[in-house]
Structure 1
Amino acid sequence: MSLPPGFIDEIRTRLSLTQVVGRKVMWDARKSNQGKGDMWAPCPFHHEKTASFHVDDRKGYYYCFGCQAKGDAISFVRETENVSFMEAVEILAGEAGMQMPARDPRAQEKSDRRTLLAEVMEQAVQHFRLQLKTGGASAARDYLDRRGLSTAAQDRWEIGFAPDAWQGLWDALKAKGVEDDLILGAGLGKPSQKGGKPYDTFRGRIMFPIRDARGRCTAFGGRAMDPNDNAKYLNSPETELFDKGRSLYNHGPARTAAGKKGQPLIVAEGYMDVIALAEAGFGASVAPLGTAITEHQLAMLWRVADEPIIALDGDTAGLRAAMRLIDLALPALEAGKSLRFALMPEGQDPDDLLKSQGAGALQKLLDEAVPMVRLLWQRETEGRVFDSPERKAALDKNLRDKIKLIKDPSIRQHYGQEIKDLRWDLFRAKRAPAQRSGGWQPSKGKRGGSWQEPPTPMPSTKSSALAAGDEQVTAHLREMVILASLICSPTIAEDFESGLETLACADPDHAVLRDMILRHAHAGPEVLRENILNALGPDALDNLMGSRHVALVPCIRTPGDADTARMTVAEELAKINAAKGLDAEIADAVQDLEGVADEGVTWRLSQAAAAAANASQTSKEDSAEYDTGENGARMSKSERDAFASLMDQITFSKPGR
């Protein structure tokens, strides 16, 4: 409906924002100046200890310097009461003593009907509570006693009982003059399929009223007393008052406990879990009414707390529910809005844990609740073996697909970093360090052998080319070019992950640089360099980049040239692998020649030699255009000749020549 001009302004004139907000906060007397309408309080929208929530009465505006919540009286009521715009206006108009303007007849009729249905639900609450005190409810009272619910607790939660009678509630409501369509519309009765009298929806059940954020009873949950009943728990059908996917059990009191008392918001599975949690001091507890959490319920949770803790049962169903929730939450993640998961011990729910070990054990689980990214990793890796490149690639693809669901680029980047670290811990931890005795070591008495890197040199000699043979020097220089190229162009590192993981670095500093690239290259050059400096200090990076043969590499002279860097790294890796392959074949052939030699030995050697030659062909195929300097760098003949010609001109142009 449309409101007449000036109606909302009149509400704002009659009600001060301080008055509206004051119902939900405790003002900080030291910071506030009531005379000027300048008020401060801890924010009702997020947990904090300091007063960062500011209300300016003169402007009719509030703002939180902690969570950036802002708005006026209407937006405040909407957020704190979880109501629509028109409902917020109606609440404020009632407080201001103003009559709401006439609505569209059909809208007014719908509103009036909802009011009548809410009144019928309150009558049902009172009826069920009275029935719990009768002789026919002794078994229900015994059950509640066994669950540890005192009479006072039963009254606090307004727990009742529906006798096992077909028309018990129906007859009671009809005796009070309630019309049939209101009983049916409230979901309290069902029409007979045989043309008879309508019958009660709930029979032979312990009854739990379900109230919305404003405290109105909109539905019931019933726990069957008959152990053979197919439906252990039964909720009201969806009605004009009740939308199961947009409702939370204990929503209003939990919001108050989370906002005013700073308690963590706990999401359990059922009514009894919530009641047990609240009675044990965890008042900010809710349940999604026996269904998987919906997108609307997730938004409601985040309006109450930035990081709700999902405390699900420690069984297969509870774990499956947590995993489904991850897929729902990933696209909706925002900065500061996430979920944490506290999985109960196997076979227990929060109520069981509280009874067996007490509130301290539950608090410990809540304190140790894991962030969502860890549960995502657990889902994709638990019980699986990644003993092949194909399986590792499948894991990477699955995780990338999940991370792509995150819309916020900053959160997506942090998820990628966390997954990278977890992947590193999983795969690198399983790779045993090489026994460094140096060179190819043939196996005794059998074919083959293994490549072993040389021992770690002393600090005074490890950078000296004289400390190693020609082949080792060449491999060492190639490693330096690879590492320097990737540090200057880290965006290409992902293309060479498998090659880097198998790159055997004799120099321990090179091994650290390789590991830093694998872990942090995707975060960008600045983050990568910062981690290298933290791990090795500035000298290692300066020594690498300052080496003469590294400084002359084109992609090093122009950092960020990804295409050139990609070709350089691919070429150098191919040369290193080809050289290793040739060495392995030679060692294998030595073993074979001790036995009966055949043409297969010479053929394998020729193939390995050809592969090594092809790998190094790039540096030789244009030898007519390049010369190799004393330091091993390639020099363009045309550029060198032009430079020599220029020097000759300068020399002959000097006076006296």
Structure 2
Amino acid sequence: MSLPPGFLDELRNRLSLGQVVGRKVAWDQRKSNQGKGDLWAPCPFHQEKTASFHVDDRKGFYYCFGCHAKGDAISFVRETENVGFMEAVKILAGEAGMEVPQASPQEQARADRRTELTGVMEEAARWFRLQLKTGGAAEARAYLEGRGFDAAKLERWEIGFAPEQGGAFAALTGKGMAAQDVIDAGIAAESDRGGDPYDRFRDRIIFPIRDARGRAIAFGGRAMAKDARAKYLNSPETLLFDKGRQLYNHGRAREAAGKGQPLVVAEGYMDVIALSEAGFTGAVAPLGTAITEDQLRLLWRIAPEPIIALDGDTAGLRAAMRLIDIALPLLEAGQSLRFALMPEGQDPDDVLREKGTETMQTLLESEKTVPMVRMLWDRELKQAPTDTPEARAGLMRRLRSKISLINDRDVKFYYGQAIKQFRDHEFRPQNWAPGGAWSKKRSGAASAAAKLSFLAQTPSELQIELLRETVILAVLLKFPGLTETFEPTLEEMQFADEDYQKVLSVLIELYLSHSDEQILENIGQMGLSHVSSRIRSDPYVRVLPALKKDLESDIPQMTVAEQLALLEVNRGHRLEMRQAEDDIADFSDEKVTRRVARSAEAMRNAGVRDDDKTEYQTGPNGARIKKDEKSAFEALLKQIGPQNDP
């Protein structure tokens, strides 16, 4: 909302920065000269013992010579109370006795109505608190005492009680409040059968729900009767209260988070109170529902990485897993979630009462909490068995689908990298190196062999290999998901064309986290657009059966498998021949002959072994390729010149 010219200047002129800051600090009387508005104190923004925080009350500015924080009254309220600009303006305007201009008469009328209803809610909160001290609340007081509530704690959290026979509506209207106001505030409801409105809360312990500015907006009621239809009951939706957009203990938690306390999201009122009383004052809870998208945004305005500490039972874990799907599209750089897993069958209140503050502190430490990407991996891993290649492929497909929901491209990329690390650790433990990196044990040897193989090539052989590489990349660019199937081989593959190798590296890095269009965009950003264009415009690629529409779903995979196998066997054969030549002085003729024969046998095995009448032909790796595709490929090879391919 825009403010009229001069409003902020008038606000600053009416306020004493010294008074605003003085609520949060203790002035150093030896160093300060209050008569001149020259004030000093230990800085509220960082831990220190000396008074390095200076306020110039006459000019309306502060500055810390330690951490270099600076600003005016508005910025001070924003930082210390962790609120936005307009919220800070409203807080200060209230202190200065100024009305923040409304954007329209309708908004002004709405604001006035909210003020009226807030007055009703405050009066209701006082009435409920008084009822807790009556004889009819003896059972409720005993229950609260058993949960660790003494008189001071009851007062801090403004706990009240709604009598079994009700009475709130009669009490409030008896004090002159309009019946419709009591109904609109959600304290009472009109009866379908006619007659007087009835009280919504009966025989329940009452927890006032306040907004970020501390105004009573709703109530939560915990039933005393074991057979009550709902153990917890919240106020209905009103002009003041939207349960999907607000949090229990919002204001206190926001201020605590602004001072460095972790923001902990628990499930209910008792959990929040227990955490806060134990020193974890940045605790909040959703209001009777699973965490919503609006509440998530609200949490991220308070802290960049809230800790989700839901109950350690099936329902709590289910709620955590649902939250992942809500959060994925909203993730941004530096903005995520962590999960503190409570012991099975326990909530934060149970942990604190049975195991103490130190145990909870340990559970909330960053090393113990689980990042959201790990929760995502664990959830999908447990969804179905992964004991077959097909099942593992299904796992990675599900994960790729989930990662695609992330809108922030940088976050999406790093999620893809993390998921690949988890996969390698889970399914390729023999190749897993400390620090979470994929250890290419044979990469050095593979590169050396590839280079030696390249040196041994004839010009026509090089053309053939480049054509095979072109085919492989053409299919992978069309179907990036296939990169997952061949990743171990591709990671060790050394292409003859250096630009092709760069394109392959992009595919391996991005296939899991980026769409086809984004992969091509990244290739372009690396200055390799001409390479992908060259691949797509290659005459053979343009007629490649694996890229035709309405093809059988497994043809692209067969094509890549076959070309990779042929690349490897041809290069291996040339390497054997070259090494045999180099080692001939050290071996008998019989041994050299046997070595070359084995290589030739491998070459023959890479050829066709099935009946020529069959539609498919099968290579040694079990992959199948269509006969018409292989025939077309071999025809093109003949145009290139003589070659050693089978």
Q: By the TM > 0.5 criterion, same fold?
A: yes
Change (3 A) 1:430 1:189: farther
For 2:555, the equivalent position in structure 1 comes to: none
Contact 1:205–1:225 (CA under 8 A) maintained in structure 2: yes
Q: Which amino acid aligns with 1:193?
A: D
Selected match of 2:279 from 267, 278, 281: 281
How far apart are residue 195 of structure 1 and its match?
2.0
Q: Deviations over 1:230-279 (max 9, x none)?
A: 1100011122222212211111111222222x211100010011111112
Match of 1:247 in 2: 246
Alignment of 1:462-501 (within 5 A): 495-501=482-488
Report deviation, 1:296.
Answer: 2.2
SS of corresponding position for 2:244: helix
* Structure 2 residue 551 is matched with structure 1 residue 575: no
Structure 1 residue 73 displacement after superposition = 5.2
User: What SS does the aligned partner of 2:209 have?
Assistant: strand
Structure 2 counterpart SS, 1:292: coil
- Cα deviations across residues 262-312 of structure 1 (Å, max 9, x unaligned)? 211100010011111112221110001121222222122112211110001
- Contact residue 295 and residue 328 of structure 1 kept, 8 A: yes
Which residue number corresponds to residue 310 of structure 2?
312
Give the corresponding residue for 2:138: 138
Report the alpha carbon displacement of residue 174 of structure 1 after superposing the two structures with TM.
Answer: 3.0
- Secondary structure at 1:206's aligned position in 2? strand
The SS at the match of 1:382 is helix
Q: What displacement does 1:332 show?
A: 1.9
Q: Alpha-carbon deviation of 1:157?
A: 1.0
Aligned to 2:578: none
Q: Give the structure 2 partner of residue 148 of structure 1.
A: 148
Structure 2 match to 1:403? 403
Distance 1:426 1:175, change over 3 A: same
Q: Distance in 2 between matches of 1:612 and 1:100?
A: 75
What's 2:162 paired with? 162
Query: What SS does the aligned partner of 1:223 have?
Result: strand
Residue matched to 2:417: 417
Equivalent positions of 1:78-93 (< 5 A) are 89-93=89-93
Further displaced range: 96-105 or 5-14: 96-105
Q: Would the alpha carbon gap of residues 607 and 227 (structure 1) be closer, same or farther in structure 2, given more than 3 Å must change?
A: closer
Whole-angstrom distance in 2 between the partners of 1:243 and 1:189: 17
Q: Which amino acid aligns with 2:12?
A: R
> How does 1:180-191 map onto structure 2 within 5 Å?
180-191=179-190
Q: How big is the shift at 1:427?
A: 2.8
Residue 218 (structure 1) aligns with: 217
Contact 2:164 2:204 in 1 (8 A): yes
Check 1:501–1:560 CA distance in 2 against 1; reply closer, same or farther (3 A cut). Answer: farther
* Residues 1:501 and 1:69: Cα distance change in structure 2 (over 3 Å): farther
8 Å Cα contact 2:82-2:257 kept in structure 1? no
Determine if contact 2:81/2:254 at 8 Å carries over to the other structure. no
Quote how far apart the aligned CAs of 1:114 are.
Answer: 2.6
Moved more, 566-575 or 3-12: 566-575
Deviation at 1:392, TM superposition (A): 3.7
CA contact (8 A) 1:578 1:612 kept: no
Q: Which amino acid counterpart does residue 561 of structure 1 have in structure 2? A: V
Confirm or deny: 8 A CA contact 1:578 1:608 kept in the other structure: no
Map residues 439-478 of structure 1 onto 2, 5 A cutoff. none
Which of the two has higher C-alpha Rg?
1
Relative to 1, partners in 2 of residues 1:104 and 1:578: Cα closer, same or farther, differing over 3 Å?
A: closer
SS in 1 for 2:222: strand
Q: Is the 8 A contact 1:494 1:522 kept in 2?
A: no
Cα distance change, pair 403–496 in 1 and its aligned pair in 2 (3 A): closer
1:353 match: 351
Q: Deviations over 1:106-125 (max 9, x none)?
A: 65554343333222222222
Distance in 2 of aligned mates of 1:611 and 1:234: 64
Q: Residue 129 of structure 1 aligns with which residue?
A: 129
Q: Is the 8 A contact 1:575 1:616 kept in 2?
A: no
Distance in 2 between the 1:265 and 1:335 partners? Answer: 18
Report deviation, 1:330: 1.8
Contact 2:54 2:62 in 1 (8 A): yes
Q: Measure, in 1, the Cα distance between the counterparts of 2:406 and 2:109.
A: 43
* Separation in 2, partners of 1:39, 1:481: 76
CA contact (8 A) 2:18 2:55 kept: yes
| Cα distance between partner residues in 2 of 1:504 and 1:156 | 61
Residues 578 and 611, structure 1, Cα contact 8 Å, conserved in 2: no
Instruction: Name the counterpart of 1:175.
Output: 174
Any idea what SS the aligned residue of 1:347 has?
coil
Shift of 1:578: 7.8
What one-letter code is carried by the residue in structure 2 that aligns with 1:499? F
1:151-176 Cα offsets, whole Å, 9 max, x none, are 3212211111111004x222322332
1:234 aligns to what? Answer: 233
> What code does the residue aligned with 2:130 have?
L
Query: Can you list the C-alpha shifts for 1:462-485, whole angstroms capped at 9, x where unaligned?
Result: 969999xx9xxxx9xx99999999
Contact 2:305 2:338 in 1 (8 A): yes
Give SS of 1:353's match. helix
Q: Distance in 2 between matches of 1:242 and 1:612?
A: 65
Q: Does the CA-based 8 Å contact 1:54-1:62 persist in structure 2?
A: yes
Q: 1:76 to 1:250 in 2, by over 3 A?
A: same
Alignment partner of 1:561 out of 525, 531, 538: 531
1:334 and 1:68 map into 2 onto residues whose CA distance is 28
- Residue of structure 1 in register with 2:329 after alignment: 331
One-letter amino acid of the counterpart of residue 486, structure 2: G
- Partner of 2:352, secondary structure, is helix
Say which SS state the counterpart of residue 207 (structure 1) adopts. Answer: strand
Query: Could you list the per-position Cα deviations for residues 618-656 of structure 1 after superposition, in whole angstroms to 9, with x for gaps in the alignment?
Result: 68855676578xxx99xxxxxxxxxxxxxxxxxxxxxxx
What CA RMSD, in Å, does the superposition of the two structures yield over aligned residues?
A: 5.7
The Cα shift of 1:339 comes to 0.8
Contact 2:122 2:216 in 1 (8 A): yes
CA distance in 2, matches of 1:13, 1:75: 15
**Distance in 1 between the 2:121 and 2:566 partners?**
80
Q: Is the 8 A contact 1:63 1:70 kept in 2?
A: yes
With 112-121 and 325-334 compared, the bigger mean Cα shift is at 112-121
Contact 2:253 2:283 in 1 (8 A): yes
Tell me the equivalent position of 2:193: 194
Cα distance in structure 2, aligned partners of 1:212 and 1:247: 7
| CA separation of 1:128 and 1:627: change in aligned 2, threshold 3 A | same
CA–CA distance in structure 2, aligned partners of residues 86 and 586 of structure 1: 77
Q: CA deviation at 1:43?
A: 8.3
Quickly say closer, same or farther: Cα 1:100–1:283, change in 2 above 3 A. Answer: closer
Give the match for residue 258 of structure 2: 259
Indicate the residue corresponding to 1:551 in structure 2: none
Structure 1, residues 71-106: CA drift from partner, whole Å, max 9, x if none? 975577578768897775554334334466799766
Query: Compared with structure 1, are the counterparts of its residues 56 and 395 closer, same or farther at alpha carbon in structure 2 (3 Å cutoff)?
Result: farther
Give the Cα separation in 1 of the matches to 2:326 and 2:565: 44
Q: 1:103 & 1:296 partners in 2: Cα distance?
A: 23
Q: Is the 8 A contact 1:18 1:39 kept in 2?
A: no
Q: Hey, what does 1:11 align to over in structure 2?
A: 11
Structure 1 Cα separation of the partners of residues 359 and 116 of structure 2: 45
Which SS does the other structure have where 1:221 is aligned? Answer: strand
1:178 positional shift: 2.2
TM-score (norm 2): 0.67
What are the ranges of 5 or more consecutive residues in structure 2 without an aligned counterpart? Answer: 433-441, 495-500, 512-527, 542-558, 573-598
CA contact (8 A) 2:212 2:250 kept: yes
3-state secondary structure, aligned to 1:246: coil
Distance change (3 Å), C-alpha of 1:276 and 1:4: closer
Query: How is 1:367-406 mapped onto 2 (pairs within 5 angstroms)?
Result: 367=365, 368-406=368-406
The 1:219/1:625 distance shift into structure 2, 3 A limit, reads closer
- Whole-Å Cα distance in 2 between the matches of residues 322 and 91 of structure 1? 35
1:445 corresponding residue in structure 2:
none
Query: Relative to structure 1, is the Cα distance of residues 361 and 87 closer, same or farther in structure 2, using a 3 angstrom cutoff?
Result: closer
Cα drift, residue 13 of structure 1 = 3.0
How many correspondences in the alignment? Answer: 545
Q: Single out whichever of 422-431 and 578-587 deviates more from structure 2.
A: 578-587
Contact conserved, 1:314 with 1:349, CA < 8 A, in 2?
yes
